[in-house]
Structure 1
Amino acid sequence: MKIAKSTVIFLIFVLMLSVFVANVANLINVDSHSANNTPLYKGLDDTEPQWLAPKKYQITGTSDNILWFLQVSDIHISIFRDLSRITELREFCDITVSAIRPSVVLASGDLTDAKAENKMGSGQIQKEWEHYQQVLQDSNVLQKTMWLDVRGNHDNFNVPSLTSKENYYMNYSVQGQRHPRSYMHQITVGSEKYTFIAVDACLEPGPRRPFNFVGVLTSAEADNIAKYVQQARAQGGDYIIWFGHYPTSCILAQCPGGVRSILGRYREGMAYLCGHFHMLGGAVPNMYTLQQAGFLELELADWKDNRMYRLGAIDHGQFSFIDLKHREWPVALITNPKHALYMMPQKENLQSISESTHIRVLAFSIAELKSVEVQIDEGGWWECHQVKGPLYVVEWNPILYKSGLHLIQVRVLDNDGRERITTQPFSLDGTRLSFRILPRMILMFNISHIFQILFGTMLLGLVVPLCVLRLFHMLCRNNKMHRPRIRIKVFHWWLRKLWILSTVDRLFFPLVLYVLYLPVGPWAIGEIIENRTGTIFAWGTWVGTSYLPGSFTYAYGFFQLFSFHFPLTLILAHRVDQRLHLMEKPSRKPPTVLALLGRHTLFTALIIMQTSMVYFFWLAYGTLAMILGPMRTWSIVLAIVLWYQANRMPESCLRSASIVWSSRSSVVQSTENENVEHLSSDK
């Protein structure tokens, strides 16, 4: 039985797709890594895993063993745009912090915007840092709580070194003077100690945007983090909350296993709290996942545009949180029973919840609370009573809810008439919910690898087809193969155009060699940092003697190939095909104005778009980088030369293509194919 070539190709495609999907599923799978007997590592210096059961608590109606805190991220204080970011941050520090009274507030990076008025230039702006410092001082927030801030990539734009005068974080932040990079802060509440460790993955030196998007955790910084953990353990620390600006998918770590292996190997580490992605412009809200190492990773939506903040708590060893909109009151966080989606079997003891005696709720408002009530599975409402401060409890019988998923609601009413109902699922038998696929992929993939794959795929897609078609052309000319016949007209149409393009040496070689140059040669030479010349490659950036590994550069290269070189190739292919048609059927009439406009419109639009990209690049890195810019500026020159060649080159350049693709050769080949078919049928 004969099998069609299309069927074989389809089966191979399905097989490759299945392998890819299986690998993706394994990468983002968390359930197989969540058993209670999964080994946890004690520290970087230990090589053997130990089986560590999470601590079991007696959860009752007392106010013991509970701590709560706030997080805010991506504030982006700007002197050019949206001054309400500043005024509402002052309101947050004055009113919200006063109402919630957290033990700490985590400010996880991008404290200032550091973007020029034209939105493309970047660098530290002292006035923005002064506003940040002034807000904290005027609101007296430092007398109300411990403010723990850490740098983001915007706080690192155009910063040559930690000790440079451009590093305003050192002088205007709360922690910068004592802790220029990662640091640890420990709090004792009752009988337990809670450790907050800031993870600073900013590049050093810090280039101007856009090549300052992905962070790097050096081996030295990883060693510092390990020392903080050992120090916390020596002081009797029970739990660790990691926080930083970059998600783990956006951090290059110079150590085996990456940053997740560092954060996940400590049994005390509960969650890693970050920002940076801004919910991808609102497209991916609630960007949360449980990493395979056993800890939660929770990206917080930005303050900049969305005015979001996070309330987190550790209650009897159970970590809970809720993300909130500024000015929305009352606020309620159910800490027992915990939300089923955010359970961490490696870190938390489920038995503590299933044997607890009380439901526990943290409730806050800017007015005195009138009532706090809870309801389970559409049953009756139970009135909670206040224990101490914001903690409200009510007795319950967990045995009634020992199997499956259940729904708990808390209704909070204050004396000003504001009401808030908060709902969450819970489980006492380990029944789990699944995180959404897209947030899991974004937080569990390696962004740098994705950028590299996109760049590499685009590069191969621009080089390999032209080279293969050129090889086919040589075989056809030597009568070693027939020209392929494709029934789908669109595919046949573009096969012809690209085939003809591949035969024109003065177009083929520049197009291919330019693409092959991008992975190896410099893209630009200029002031990557003000007054410091650097060289940008696909694989990294050199600034003086400092090397910054490539990551976002690959995304930038992909965009260049996809938005400019790919359409340029298609435009040139279409034009040489038109030239071949004119060779076969020359027109005696000169082209009309409309015909000339139609011929040059797409190319002109492409050049205009690329010129705008060169302008933005000039705003970002200056005149030198624009002049010495093979990737952006020189590509315009190359495109104009190739377009001129496509329109003015002699017809002799197309004779090789005409041998295979002229109307006469098509008729001859069609006749030959028909003869072969007749002979086969006769046999």
Structure 2
Amino acid sequence: MMRISKFTVGILVSMILLSIFFTNVVNLLSTHAENTDDFAKDNFLKLTDTHENLMWFIQITDIHISIFRDPLRITEFKEFCHYTINTIRPSVVLASGDLTDAKTKDSIGSEQYEDEWRHYRDILKEARIQEKTLWLDIRGNHDNFNVADFKSKQNFFTNYSIQGKKNPRSYRYQMRKRNNLYTFIGIDACLEPGPRRPFNFVGILDDLEVNELNSLIQQTENSPNNYTVFFGHFPTSCIITPGHESVRDMIGKHKEGMVYVCGHLHRLGGLVPKMYTLQKAGFLELELGDWKDNRVYRMLAIDHGLLSFTDIQHREWPVVLITNPKHALFVNPARENLDIMKNSTHVRILAFSLSRIDFVKIKIDNGSWMHCKRVKGPLFVAPWDPENYLHGLHKIEVHIKDVEGRTKSISQPFSLDGTRLSFGLLAKFILMTSASVLFKSLFFVMLAVTVFPLIIVRYMHELVAAGKIVKPRLRRSCWFNWLKKMWIMSTVDRIFWPIVLYPIYLAIGPWSIGYIIEDHVGAVFAWGIFVNGAYLPGAFTYVYGFIQLFTFQVPVSLIMITAVGFRFHDLNAKPGRKLSWKKKACLHLAFTLLFAMQVSMAYMFWLAYGTMAFILGPLRTWSLVLAAILYYQSFHLPESCLRKASDIWHVSSDVSINEPSASPLTKAN
């Protein structure tokens, strides 16, 4: 029987583990809905050219009204409330959080400013918004910065928002139009209490809020003519539900839940301008770009049970939305009866502009242009025969012009046989994974990278010193030099143990103690925050810890390895050798830059959480003291501290440039 080497076994095991990992990732990011029963088939409405069974609404998010920066946010938000709402006349407006900015003038600290909330209230009041539409607003994490509880003087949402007094947290609103019931369920996942930034990035549904949300869902009628829209600030990937089913499962079990719309991620800084996906639980999740920097809003329509939407740049006119046939990417068989499109008699388009619409015309595939007729309000229709487009993907184009010469042209793919398009991989990853799990993984992987190599090398040294294994023989290379330096540093107890134990402490002990919220002293750990008698499970704290390990702990370890290695060879160098000032400057440059960066981060932490948190701060402040002490010691180590290393790496067997043929450390033994 052929013998299988350990290397081959290792390769096979690695391939199996990688296969399992990638299989799980592919399964996680699959947009094939699990809830594929045929309940939607019962909801069949004949789609013709009538104005019935049609409702449209708007979403706006991350307004970030600020008294310190970008006054155009306020000016253009006024325009939106006056001109956009007057023109589109939506049945509902969903304002999905971060209504105000709540950041200090230096953009580092966080505080609720009443003047920002007054701006928000006054704009809505001046525009008579409640006379024009149903305005459903909900809190975002910025609206909850530094808010201890609902009775807090900092909780301005309850007094200055439209829904705050009646619905301070999650709530439901229903409206009936003829035979159709439209339900809007707002999900408030803000932390309670709400700490200052940055530990307020991930939302949490506690026991009380999970029960409330389940109650709202259970009270919602399950019927073919009930269409439910969920909205909130945080994407589902940024909401944790400790000890309960996920928020995705809660939304998914409601069979009429068509979509969850949210904000918060701001298009990920422009990296993902279209952050959409179809969750496996059976509903669409659509993150909307912010008003703060991008000035976008979203118009959605439910037309005979089919959900369509478009994201629109402020001041962009005309606005057009094709509701039949709907975009192929957003077809959802688990929540929509697609036979409605197959049996429809007309293409249906919503068109809006500041002036009267002059014409709307369409073209399908390579066919000729066909003019649409206005039915009522913004609805334009044109007859078509779906039988001509039953197979594969097709394209519909729309061109619109108003009487003042403004034009708009759009096109979108559609399919009547279920042919699907794929969502962007990055968008799916962001919306379908768990931010909390990802953050924890990053932290503990970086913790392992920081600690385990040093421990392994230390253990190897013990085995070599005991004669149980032979010292590794490696070719002269950069890797060899680094292994040797790491080995030498691992034998110096006064350097090794602080370097190894400090990152382990960050995973266990408190990072800081200070005023986390208003006048309430709290303690921050990697795994959670204790403040005002409450425990907030760790989530974004792991990102903070990852950044500390990656930007400070790892470089400090590398610098200490280099410094101890330099000291080891310096003691073995010829007597009287001196470095030039240029070499000394280069030698200390890396630590100087790293130390300066950490000082600036400690200073920002002080601005965010105050003097107590700065002084009682092992994460930022104490790490500076520890690094300075270790760095000084590494260049002034006595010979006795390096004898263990000299016993193994004595120069006679490892001759290198500037190393003598015999080691003073060896002689000292």
Q: TM-score, normalised by structure 2?
A: 0.95
**Partners of 1:617 and 1:626 within 8 A in 2:** yes
Q: Percent identity?
A: 52
In 2 relative to 1, CA 408–235 (structure 1 residues): closer, same or farther, beyond 3 Å? closer
Alignment deviations for residues 41-91 of structure 1 (CA, whole Å, 9 cap, x no partner): xxxxxxxxxx66451221111111110000000000000000000000000
In 2 relative to 1, CA 487–330 (structure 1 residues): closer, same or farther, beyond 3 Å? farther
The equivalent residue for 1:672 is none
Q: Are 1:621 and 2:609 an aligned pair?
A: yes
- Where 1:648 maps in the other structure, the secondary structure is coil
In 2 relative to 1, CA 596–97 (structure 1 residues): closer, same or farther, beyond 3 Å? same
The equivalent residue for 2:560 is 572
In 2 relative to 1, CA 79–237 (structure 1 residues): closer, same or farther, beyond 3 Å? farther
For residues 237 and 626 of structure 1, the distance between their equivalents in structure 2, rounded to whole angstroms, comes to 57
- Paired letter, 2:34: H
- Paired letter, 2:599: T
**Partners of 1:320 and 1:334 within 8 A in 2:** yes
In 2 relative to 1, CA 596–666 (structure 1 residues): closer, same or farther, beyond 3 Å? closer
Q: Are 1:68 and 2:69 an aligned pair?
A: no
The equivalent residue for 1:604 is 592
The equivalent residue for 1:444 is 432
* Alpha-carbon offset, residue 463 of structure 1: 1.2
The equivalent residue for 2:215 is 227
Q: Are 1:270 and 2:258 an aligned pair?
A: yes
The equivalent residue for 2:99 is 111
Q: Are 1:21 and 2:27 an aligned pair?
A: no
**Partners of 2:222 and 2:255 within 8 A in 1:** no
- Paired letter, 2:509: G
The correspondence of residues 424-573 of structure 1 with structure 2, limited to 5 A, is 424-487=412-475, 489-573=477-561
The correspondence of residues 115-514 of structure 1 with structure 2, limited to 5 A, is 115-233=103-221, 238-487=226-475, 489-514=477-502
- Where 1:400 maps in the other structure, the secondary structure is helix
**Partners of 2:138 and 2:163 within 8 A in 1:** yes
Match for 1:586 among 546, 569, 574? 574
The equivalent residue for 2:663 is none
For residues 13 and 578 of structure 1, the distance between their equivalents in structure 2, rounded to whole angstroms, comes to 37
**Partners of 1:54 and 1:347 within 8 A in 2:** no
- Where 1:194 maps in the other structure, the secondary structure is strand
**Partners of 2:362 and 2:369 within 8 A in 1:** yes
In 2 relative to 1, CA 302–104 (structure 1 residues): closer, same or farther, beyond 3 Å? same
In 2 relative to 1, CA 217–54 (structure 1 residues): closer, same or farther, beyond 3 Å? farther
* Alpha-carbon offset, residue 644 of structure 1: 1.2
* Alpha-carbon offset, residue 9 of structure 1: 5.0
My pick for the range that moved more, 226-235 or 419-428, is: 226-235
* Alpha-carbon offset, residue 274 of structure 1: 0.2
* Alpha-carbon offset, residue 452 of structure 1: 0.3
For residues 454 and 205 of structure 2, the distance between their equivalents in structure 1, rounded to whole angstroms, comes to 40
- Name stretches of at least 5 consecutive residues in structure 2 with no aligned partner: 657-669
**Partners of 1:660 and 1:666 within 8 A in 2:** no
**Partners of 1:195 and 1:237 within 8 A in 2:** no
Alignment deviations for residues 396-432 of structure 1 (CA, whole Å, 9 cap, x no partner): 0000000001111111111111111111111111111
Alignment deviations for residues 354-395 of structure 1 (CA, whole Å, 9 cap, x no partner): 111111111111111011111111211111111110011111
- Paired letter, 2:205: L
The equivalent residue for 1:653 is 641
The correspondence of residues 633-644 of structure 1 with structure 2, limited to 5 A, is 633-644=621-632
**Partners of 2:567 and 2:636 within 8 A in 1:** no
The correspondence of residues 662-681 of structure 1 with structure 2, limited to 5 A, is 662-666=650-654
Paired residues in the alignment total: 655
* Alpha-carbon offset, residue 593 of structure 1: 1.7
- Where 2:513 maps in the other structure, the secondary structure is strand
**Partners of 1:407 and 1:425 within 8 A in 2:** yes
In 2 relative to 1, CA 60–235 (structure 1 residues): closer, same or farther, beyond 3 Å? closer
In 2 relative to 1, CA 27–587 (structure 1 residues): closer, same or farther, beyond 3 Å? farther
Alignment deviations for residues 419-450 of structure 1 (CA, whole Å, 9 cap, x no partner): 11111111111111111110000000000000
For residues 283 and 485 of structure 1, the distance between their equivalents in structure 2, rounded to whole angstroms, comes to 47
For residues 457 and 488 of structure 1, the distance between their equivalents in structure 2, rounded to whole angstroms, comes to 30
For residues 391 and 314 of structure 1, the distance between their equivalents in structure 2, rounded to whole angstroms, comes to 13
- Paired letter, 1:344: N
For residues 361 and 392 of structure 1, the distance between their equivalents in structure 2, rounded to whole angstroms, comes to 5
For residues 135 and 229 of structure 2, the distance between their equivalents in structure 1, rounded to whole angstroms, comes to 15
- Where 1:352 maps in the other structure, the secondary structure is helix
- Name stretches of at least 5 consecutive residues in structure 1 with no aligned partner: 38-50, 669-683
* Alpha-carbon offset, residue 189 of structure 1: 1.8
* Alpha-carbon offset, residue 4 of structure 1: 7.6
**Partners of 1:71 and 1:105 within 8 A in 2:** yes
* Alpha-carbon offset, residue 231 of structure 1: 3.1
For residues 353 and 33 of structure 2, the distance between their equivalents in structure 1, rounded to whole angstroms, comes to 40
* Alpha-carbon offset, residue 586 of structure 1: 3.1
* Alpha-carbon offset, residue 486 of structure 1: 4.1
- Paired letter, 2:503: V
- Where 1:614 maps in the other structure, the secondary structure is helix
For residues 465 and 383 of structure 2, the distance between their equivalents in structure 1, rounded to whole angstroms, comes to 87
For residues 273 and 534 of structure 1, the distance between their equivalents in structure 2, rounded to whole angstroms, comes to 33
* Alpha-carbon offset, residue 653 of structure 1: 1.1
- Paired letter, 1:68: W
My pick for the range that moved more, 657-666 or 101-110, is: 657-666
- Where 2:635 maps in the other structure, the secondary structure is helix
In 2 relative to 1, CA 498–344 (structure 1 residues): closer, same or farther, beyond 3 Å? same
**Partners of 1:203 and 1:548 within 8 A in 2:** yes
In 2 relative to 1, CA 321–485 (structure 1 residues): closer, same or farther, beyond 3 Å? farther
**Partners of 2:42 and 2:224 within 8 A in 1:** no
In 2 relative to 1, CA 101–239 (structure 1 residues): closer, same or farther, beyond 3 Å? same
- Paired letter, 1:29: S
The equivalent residue for 1:681 is none
- Paired letter, 2:19: S
For residues 107 and 164 of structure 1, the distance between their equivalents in structure 2, rounded to whole angstroms, comes to 23
- Paired letter, 1:231: Q
For residues 382 and 584 of structure 2, the distance between their equivalents in structure 1, rounded to whole angstroms, comes to 81
- Where 1:611 maps in the other structure, the secondary structure is helix
In 2 relative to 1, CA 54–619 (structure 1 residues): closer, same or farther, beyond 3 Å? farther
In 2 relative to 1, CA 382–247 (structure 1 residues): closer, same or farther, beyond 3 Å? same
- Where 1:362 maps in the other structure, the secondary structure is strand
Alignment deviations for residues 562-595 of structure 1 (CA, whole Å, 9 cap, x no partner): 1000000000001111122223323513332222
Alignment deviations for residues 71-122 of structure 1 (CA, whole Å, 9 cap, x no partner): 0000000000000000000001101111101001110000000000011110
Q: TM-score, normalised by structure 1?
A: 0.93
* Alpha-carbon offset, residue 665 of structure 1: 2.9
**Partners of 1:193 and 1:236 within 8 A in 2:** no
For residues 202 and 156 of structure 2, the distance between their equivalents in structure 1, rounded to whole angstroms, comes to 21
For residues 435 and 187 of structure 2, the distance between their equivalents in structure 1, rounded to whole angstroms, comes to 18
For residues 541 and 127 of structure 2, the distance between their equivalents in structure 1, rounded to whole angstroms, comes to 41
- Paired letter, 1:554: Y
For residues 8 and 582 of structure 1, the distance between their equivalents in structure 2, rounded to whole angstroms, comes to 44
